[in-house]
Amino acid sequence: MKVKFAPSLMCMDLMNVQNQIGILDQYADYYHIDIMDGHFVKNLSLSLDFVKRLKLITNIPLDCHLMASNPEMYVDQLIEIGADFISLHAETISGQAFRLIERIKQADIKFGVVLNPETDLHAISSYLHLVDILTIMSVDPGFAGQKFIVESIDKVRLASSLKADKQYSYEIAVDGGCNKKTYKILRQAGAECFIVGSSGLFGLHENLNLAYELMLREYEQETACI
């Protein structure tokens, strides 16, 4: 399976969005959009209005990663805006997971679930078969540039094993610290989509075309022997 890359747009130059999207559209498989409420995580990032405006200038699928204590308040708006994926934190949907999944899928939108570093994969075993994209956090959510949490590798490995054993169809994405230091071990563990931010993409070169080429080169160099 060809690995995918999803630029994390909270790390882009937000003063130069249209130009940067024009460049990224040539390469990206998805766009990863962090939407934070300042409560579930102590930060604010991209907004619903950003998603709405982005839909006007790109056809790349948008994976909206909702970091909010009350995700049910945002799901209908994301459906209306036209999100391609709505990814909800497992820690926030206990007691309403099946209702939210049904609402998302009835709108013909793909359902994603996100696991914090300390959240066990078995916490979502009852609805894992309904997941389209499984995002495993390898840093604590909310802030860019954190140290990679090595314990997340075992979770990726288990997710890959379960997918094969149960014939599940979810895609395994990793969010946090995806760069030349971690590509090989994550790919070996079963990662299928790398969400790339400051260290993996945007910080590699001020010229975004060159940065993307460097990222792909680093990935190919690190994983050539797999």
Query: What does the angle CA 54 – CA 32 – CA 50 come to, to the nearest 5 degrees?
Result: 30
Task: Render pLDDT for 126-152 as a digit per residue (tens, 0 to 9).
Answer: 999 999 999 999 998 766 666 899 999
Which of 160, 212, 225 has the alpha carbon at shortest distance from 189? 160
66 pLDDT band (50/70/90 cuts)? Answer: very high
Q: Which CATH class is domain 4-223?
A: alpha beta
The full set of domain ranges for the chain reads 4-223
**C-beta of residue 64 within 8 angstroms of C-beta of residue 72:** no
38 pLDDT band (50/70/90 cuts)? Answer: confident
CA separation for the pair 220, 63 (Å, rounded): 25
Which three-class secondary structure state does DSSP give residue 15?
coil
CA 179, 147, 36, 43 dihedral sign is: negative
Active-site residue set:
34, 175
pTM for this prediction: 0.95
CA separation for the pair 7, 11 (Å, rounded): 8
